[in-house]
Structure 1
Amino acid sequence: MAGPLAGQHVYKEINALQPGEYTWHPDRQPDGPVSIVVSLDEQRVHVYRNGIRIAVSTCSTGKPGHETPTGVFVVLQKDRDHRSSTYNNAPMPNMNRLTWGGIALHAGNLPGYPASHGCVRLPLDFSANLFEITHLGTPVIIAASGASPDSVVHPGFILGEYSETEFEKVLATLEPRKRPSDWVLDDAYPITSMIASSHDERIIILENDRQVAEGQLIWDGLPLGPHVYVLHGPDDGLRGMQWQAITYDATAEQADHDLTRVRTDQAFADVIGLHSHPGMIFVFTDLPLHPDSRSGRDFVIMS
């Protein structure tokens, strides 16, 4: 039987998985954007494609004193044969980097409890499968407890005012921006992320590691809740943009997934339209947009 490092693909209930075991069913949803949810209390990694869960694996996260940070991340770098520059050249196969400070998804030993220095260790075979379907910009949500994504369709485009001609205009805008799976950070197609903070009443736009724009957040005045939305693309039937919505902190005060609660002025909505592309992510938070929440080319970490 395969050991906890190599891993073993099994058919059993998720809560019955033993260290090193995982499920992998990519046929359940062959196409669409991938998102990953790491549940610290379960010590599980859930993989979704186009909103459908296609895999679950056991994992080992940070031990006491080296806790894995919680929040919303994107894959910044991929390296199939990575070695640690911090821990004695230790091998980290199938590495998906989440921060330039050393947090990543990679293969490693799984003793059945949190034991890493902050990374998320995975079974080797599972990490190899995962490596094949992630790309730069794939969102990774690390939370105290996991939550399944919901599908949300916004009646208008992003934060703009809806009109009868808007849908066709959006299609024309997004069509040349379809994201190839082999983007690199310096390509002409940057990874776009937006963060809306009710605390600061602002929305910021990030491209890769840089803030490129900032505008006013207009909303209903209630807590936004800790949600992240991944833009899939147009929904022809409902004439709007389809998003995948995930709650990234199940312990925080909750609010329903509802993109119609937020908007901005038309001038900034036009700016958002210029930077939008399928696969971009939009984060809601009730915390301040403090510079300490981002560093270097990391995305954003919000506990």
Structure 2
Amino acid sequence: MTTRRLTCSLALALLFATTASAQTPSSVDGRIEQLKPGEYLWAPEIAPAGPVTVIVSLATQKAYAYRNGVAIGVSTVSTGSDGHATPTGVFTVLQKDVDHVSNLYKDAAMPFMQRLTWGGIAMHAGNLPGYPASHGCIRLPPAFAKLLFGITRLGITVVITQDARVPVVAAKPGMLTSAGSAGGDFVWNPALSPKGPVSIVISGRDKRVVVLRNGIEIGSGAIAFDAPIERTAAFTLQSIDADGEHWLRLPLPGDPRTGELTAEDRAKGHLAEGFRAALATVTTPGTTLLVTRETLASAGTGTPVTIIEATGQ
């Protein structure tokens, strides 16, 4: 199976359109959809620094890498075969190992391994036959696996979705604005995990917010919505300045929206003031927010949804 790195200029043409046209990667010329097994695009110069997020689409068999809210790479993948399904949900990178060898599958080599669960699910270099063929792991082209390994750190967020339309990421989410309409009850105990990357998960069906740091739940509370959650969406906090927090939406296949959320969208979700204020004490650049229409108890089909494992067993 071949791998190749396209030149930066070509990657730019394929991955990104001009800001004015607000096109998504797939709308540039269709090359992302046409990637063959083992091929990838890589243009890290577009966003040389900032928090990294990885989104894996089981439906399209592709992985999307974002840095500082900007798409810098997309790759073909091979995920779990029948009987070995790759779990969907929100994960953090728990462990990294350049020369990892599996202790579950006959000492199989797993170069550039980035562990997502303690049960054996990871991203790593491997064979890409053009269809799901792994025991649940996310196989990447060897060259792409090495490149991705080089820009990630422990605790970054990885979202795995079954949807062909991959989750998105945005600007100051209205889900985090205060209002008296939300319930006043919430739990807040940041001492359970004093430092590390923060992820916030919101369930539209549960009307609940869960806050995790290093994969450990440090808080949860109620949220009220002005309108139903129609699709899964993810948001990453790029920066905080005098104008407030700046959350970026990722330009994803099938979704033409880019930039920051409108004031109208920001006002659709409401938290109790005390909970909103508590959240503000832990949100820093790199914080990830996932909004899902599903319950956190199941994926709507009785299948458990993984919402981040702790960094220690």
Please indicate the TM-score interval, normalised by the length of the shorter structure.
Answer: 0.7 to 0.9
Residues 130-145 of structure 1 correspond to what in structure 2 (within 5 A)?
A: 130-143=148-161, 144-145=163-164
Does residue 261 of structure 1 match 2:268? yes
**Unaligned stretches of 5+ in structure 2?**
11-30, 180-191, 255-259, 299-303
CA distance in 1, matches of 2:6, 2:231: 36
Aligned to 1:271: 278
1:284 aligned residue (291, 302, 312): 291
Q: TM-score, normalised by structure 1?
A: 0.75
Aligned mate of 1:115, from 130, 133, 136: 133
CA distance in 1 between counterparts of 2:235 and 2:170 reads: 9
Alignment of 1:229-248 (within 5 A): 229-234=235-240, 236=242, 239-245=243-249
Q: Which residue of 1 aligns with 2:16?
A: none
1:74-223 → structure 2 map (5 Å cutoff): 74-143=92-161, 144-147=163-166, 149=168, 151-154=170-173, 158-160=176-178, 188-223=194-229
Distance in 1 between residues matched to 2:274 and 2:104, nearest whole Å: 46
Q: Give the match for residue 165 of structure 1.
A: none
Task: Please report the TM-score for the alignment, with normalisation by the length of structure 2.
Answer: 0.73
Q: Equivalent residue for 2:4?
A: 8
Contact 1:76 1:136 in 2 (8 A): yes
Contact 1:232–1:243, Cα closer than 8 Å, also in 2: yes
Give 1:84 deviation, angstroms.
1.0
- Could you tell me which residue of structure 1 aligns to residue 59 of structure 2? 41
Deviation at 1:114, TM superposition (A): 1.3
State whether residues 61 and 120 of structure 1, in contact with CA within 8 Å, keep that contact through their aligned partners in structure 2: yes
* C-alpha displacement of 1:117: 0.8
Q: CA deviation at 1:40?
A: 2.2
In 2, Cα distance between the equivalents of 1:17 and 1:285? 28
**Count, aligned residues:** 263
CA distance in 2, matches of 1:283, 1:159: 16
Q: Deviations over 1:218-262 (max 9, x none)?
A: 2214236311211122255xx131113469998xxxxx9634311
How many Å separate the matches in 2 of 1:220 and 1:146? 24
> What amino acid is aligned across from residue 222 of structure 1 in structure 2?
P
Q: Any unmatched runs of 5+ in structure 1?
A: 162-185, 251-255
SS at match of 1:14: coil
* Deviation (angstroms), 1:95: 1.0
- Partners of 1:87 and 1:146 lie apart in 2 by 32
**Cα distance change of structure 1 residues 213 and 148 upon mapping to structure 2, 3 Å threshold:** closer
One-letter code of the match for 1:159? T
Deviation at 1:146, TM superposition (A): 4.2
Q: What's the % identity of the aligned pairs? A: 38
Q: Cα distance 1:149–1:215, how it changes in 2: closer, same or farther (>3 A)?
A: closer
User: In the aligned structure 2, how far is the partner of 1:28 from the partner of 1:16?
Assistant: 22
From the superposition, tell whether residues 15 and 137 of structure 1 become closer, same or farther in structure 2 (CA, over 3 Å): same
Q: Distance in 2 between matches of 1:287 and 1:187?
A: 26
Report the Cα offset of residue 121 of structure 1.
Answer: 0.5
